[in-house]
Structure 1
Amino acid sequence: MTKTRSATWSAARQRQALDLSARYLHGASISELARISGLSKGTVLNRLRLVDTPMRTPQQTRLLCADPEQTAARVQLAAEMRRWYEAGASVPALAAVFGCSSRTVRRRLGQAGTTLRSPGQTRALSTDEKSRRELMRSLRTRYEAGASVPLLAAGCGYSTSTVYRLLHQAGTALRPRSQPAPGAERDRSP
């Protein structure tokens, strides 16, 4: 008689599989478990199956998603995404900022009642010279007030390299990367 694979696992791996199973049974999704554990979704599924975790049906998953607390959080997230999108952020930029896929961003924007821009409208928005100048002026003002480039990038939905380019085009005197923002305290511990 051959041993099952779960019987040959180390104690640590068995504990991990049982922990994943407990979290799944308490409502965590496969994606959340993968993000928490650092494993792939397929590995999480395999670990759950090997400790005989009863899997939810699609109906049970929909009911779980209908939890009022989770629904309120999703509505708030969708409203936040809509605010950024209407301010000019693109779907890929929102996906990067909120740590999800572009498909999820589109779905959340739809749930918030947002009409998505066509690719032509997005290109026109990104090349609109007046809004570009306003963005450069706003970034320069916030940067000179002490904001870091990664913070500015997260705030406007652009990459850090794009923010650096916009600051340069705005004629901003950039700080050396090792120099802190004005007024920022430096840790001088030995």
Structure 2
Amino acid sequence: MTPTRSSTWSAARQRQALDLSARYRHGASVNELARTTGLSKSTVLNRLRLVDTPMRAPQQTRLLRADPVEAAARSERAAEMRRWYETGASVAALAAVFDCSPRTVRRLLARANTAVRSPSETRALRSDGQARRDLMRTLRARYEAGASVPLLAVGCGYSTSTVYRLLHQAGTALRPGHRPAPEARGDRSP
């Protein structure tokens, strides 16, 4: 690839632009290139553009440089979010369950090829009888796999009492309630 303005560039500047382009294509970010070369960010961008380097979005840079294990974990997390979301969970509820921001939830749902619903669509989904039965089956499966009722409540956006009612309606055998030990409750025996 030759620079588009080779007549006005010195040979050293042309080599530098081609070197920057090669490093950028192999995953270096514009900020890293600016830091390592001592050039300003705008100079790095100008040199990359002048040698017709295809530019990436920051997300594409992160994906390019991502560790394969981390990428697989992120994809699994996105798929899990999608499963919860399709049963009627809201973006805010998923953010609480997965301990991240709603923006991150939307980004991961988009990565899992999920169209994000409007708030009115979420409310309509919750009032649908089939969706409620699907939610009951999902809650039962997750509860029987070991999930706690408070976690399920946060995940689907309902109160714990509603989750208990849905589990009961789904015919779930509930685990015995766990009460804290007497010393944790503050009971004192004489």
With normalisation by structure 1, the TM-score equals 0.46
Greater length-normalized contact order (CA 8 Å, ≥ 6 residues apart): 2
Which one has the largest radius of gyration? 2
Superposition TM-score, scaled by structure 2 size: 0.46
